[in-house]
Amino acid sequence: GRNVALRHNAAQTSTYRELTIDATASKAVDGNTSGIFTDNTCSHTNDSSPSWNVTFDHAQVLNRIFLYNRIESSKC
């Protein structure tokens, strides 16, 4: 299948920032599935009860959802 979320508007309840890390919601829909948090490739919040969403231009039928988690971080 194709990535229907690619480069769409994404939002999250807060954004984690530290030195070279700016873990914005858009990182989750940029097509990079690396998962290396310290390379600034992941979205992340500062919330203890976070939420994240993506907004599509029109209705989408989703048969599968793939989530790629980070694979390393001192924040895990």
Res 1: pLDDT: 82
Examine residue 23 and state whether it is found in any structural domain, yes or no. Answer: yes
Examine residue 69 and state whether it is found in any structural domain, yes or no. Answer: no
Neighbour tally for 25: CB within 10 Å = 19
Examine residue 16 and state whether it is found in any structural domain, yes or no. Answer: yes
Examine residue 4 and state whether it is found in any structural domain, yes or no. Answer: no
Total count of domains within the chain: 1
Res 29: pLDDT: 97
CA distance 24 to 65: 20
Examine residue 64 and state whether it is found in any structural domain, yes or no. Answer: no
Is residue 28 helix, strand or coil?
helix
Examine residue 50 and state whether it is found in any structural domain, yes or no. Answer: yes
Structural domain of 50 = 9-55
Res 75: pLDDT: 56
Summarize pLDDT for 14-69 with one digit per residue, the tens: 999 999 999 999 999 999 999 999 899 999 999 999 999 999 999 999 999 999 99
**pTM, rounded to two decimals:** 0.86
